Amino acid sequence: MQDILDLIQKEQDRQNKGIELIASENYASKDVRKVTGSILTNKYAEGYPGRRYYGGCEFVDEIERIAIKEACDLFECKFANVQPHSGSQANAAAYRALMPNGGKVLSLVLNDGGHLTHGSPVSFSSNFYTFIHYPLDKDGRLNYESIKEIALQEKPDVILSGYSAFPYEIDFKKIREICDEVGCLMMVDMAHIAGLVAAKKHISPIPYADIVTSTTHKTLRGPRGGLILTNSPELIKKINSAVFPFYQGGPLEHVVAAKAVCFKEAHTNSFVKYVESLMENTKICSKTLRDLGAIATDTENHLFLLNTLDSFGITGLEAQKKLEEIGVTTNKNMIPGDKLTPKETSGLRIGFAAVTTRGCTKEDAAEIAKLIFNYLSNKINKEEASSKVKELTSKWKLIENI
Ligand code: DSN
């Protein structure tokens, strides 16, 4: 046990001493962590509230009903399944509900910002379903006309939107119009932008999509897990049987309970202020990098892409490693039209969800941009850069106090 506790302490120190810019990460609150670590982990509860395969479920039933109600209230939606263990499993169940006999999905490819489960050959998705992809414009934006053209030609069963590395707002209304014209279903994976949607700072997919999937731990700032939402009484039945018993066994009721806490936390004014600050910080960092001469995308959400190859002559992998040496954590990412492999990439994905939770201000966001620019272009050395990281992180909240 002690070896594990020692490693957890080391990880806690790493999180406190570093600048966390991985766009899909965040710091869960004390309450979320307390509930995730509760005795609820002891309980088996296969099934759904009121119809379980085990006795002794009266309290977990109540907890799961609260989680469902809070999810529906937060996202203004009729039905929710709060059991998916992850976003990937939420997507698997959503595909199953939408295409019980297999089918064709039109989505954005991983290299352009889609997710592994959006049809990557190494994921279950492309093995069980046929995927075709719509391209991005040269400037990295969605081209709704070209989505429509491909959809009319290919006649997919489902058009999938919602991405993992896409810095602009998505017009879900336009995608619904295309689905209606083509006569296909609409699915949205809002894992990355769920917090922005909850705070009403991004157009909600709920009124437009047949099924919306999400994770709960990215901008939504809850426990690690998945979520599925729909307004359709027919689809929720299919979703429920696709989650359990088709893909999953017993739900993680300690995580379901922590999701309930997270939905309540996200339904507050302070969460809306957090999202405003997160989006402002992201914007300032990307703009400051561009003002300094780097090639970075603009942003309309919580992340942007930095082209390290054209800005500093180093691959995304090299930039990621170099920044990690000074405690700045990012992840290498393909940028639109990337010529390098996904293992190398020409850039980084940078997001402000985590650091904003710790108290990063807009002045700090500009300082982070200067730090990244000066260090990656060798204008400052490792010692100077590390001392800047220390100066910034020592002003912020410790992660155990969030
Ligand atoms: N792997 C996550 C991300 O980093 O975006 C998506 O599931």
Three-class DSSP labels, 348-385: EEEECHHHHHHCCCHHHHHHHHHHHHHHHCCCCCHHHH
Query: Active site includes 157?
Result: no
Distance CA 170, CA 164 (A): 12
Q: What is the distance in angstroms between the CA of the first residue and the CA of the last residue of the chain?
A: 25
The dihedral over CA atoms of 199, 260, 400, 299, expressed in degrees to the nearest 10, equals -30
- At residue 194's C-alpha, the angle toward residues 191 and 196, to 5°, is 135
Query: Active site includes 238?
Result: no
Distance CA 105, CA 70 (A): 30
* Residue in 89, 108, 115 to alter for ligand 1 test, most ligand atoms within 8 A of Cβ: 115
pLDDT tens digits, 136-170: 998 899 999 999 999 999 999 999 999 999 999 99
- Which residues, other chains included, contact 103 with Cβ-Cβ below 8 Å and sequence gap of 6+? 129, 130, 156, 157, 158
pLDDT tens digits, 285-305: 999 999 999 999 999 999 999
Distance CA 293, CA 289 (A): 7
pLDDT tens digits, 233-274: 999 999 999 999 999 999 999 999 999 999 999 999 999 999
* Residue in 21, 24, 192 to alter for ligand 1 test, most ligand atoms within 8 A of Cβ: 24
CB contact at 8 A, 342 and 109: no
- Predicted confidence band of residue 179 (pLDDT cuts 50, 70, 90): very high
Query: Active site includes 375?
Result: no
pLDDT value of position 218: 98
Distance CA 327, CA 63 (A): 39
pLDDT value of position 337: 81
**H or E stretch including 329?**
strand 328-329
Q: Which of 64, 70, 112, 189 is catalytic?
A: 189
What's the 164 CA to ligand 1 centre distance in angstroms?
6
pLDDT tens digits, 113-128: 999 999 999 999 999 9
Q: Which of 141, 224, 362, 370 is catalytic?
A: 224
CB contact at 8 A, 151 and 124: no
Nearest-atom number in ligand 1 for the CA of 192 is 5
Distance CA 40, CA 37 (A): 8
Closest CA to 68 of 260, 264, 266: 260
pLDDT tens digits, 70-128: 999 999 999 999 999 999 999 999 999 999 999 999 999 998 899 999 999 999 999 99
Average pLDDT of the chain to the nearest whole number: 97
Report the pocket of ligand 1 as residue ranges, CB < 6 Å. 24, 87, 115, 164, 191
Task: Report percent pLDDT > 90 for the chain.
Answer: 98
Q: Which of 31, 33, 46, 329 is catalytic?
A: 46
Query: Active site includes 364?
Result: no
Distance CA 26, CA 160 (A): 25
Distances (CA, A) of 203 to 79, 170, 190, 200, 306: 19, 8, 11, 7, 25
Distance CA 117, CA 129 (A): 11
- Predicted confidence band of residue 351 (pLDDT cuts 50, 70, 90): very high
Determine which residue's CA is closest to atom 2 belonging to ligand 1: 24
What's the 70 CA to ligand 1 centre distance in angstroms?
24
Q: Is the pLDDT of residue 336 over 90?
A: no
8-state DSSP, 183: T
Q: Is the pLDDT of residue 388 over 90?
A: yes
Distance CA 157, CA 127 (A): 16
Kindly calculate the radius of gyration of the chain based on its CA atoms and give it in whole angstroms: 21
Query: pTM for the complete prediction?
Result: 0.97
- List strand residue ranges (DSSP E) for 172-294, in order: 185-189, 211-215, 226-230
Six-digit token string for 146? 């070209």
* Residue in 164, 189, 193, 213 to alter for ligand 1 test, most ligand atoms within 8 A of Cβ: 164
Q: Which of 5-9, 173-177, 311-315, 337-341 comes out lowest in average pLDDT? A: 337-341
Indicate the residue type of 170: I
What's the 394 CA to ligand 1 centre distance in angstroms?
28
- At residue 43's C-alpha, the angle toward residues 40 and 44, to 5°, is 140
Task: Report percent pLDDT > 70 for the chain.
Answer: 100
pLDDT value of position 106: 98
Six-digit token string for 277? 């600050």
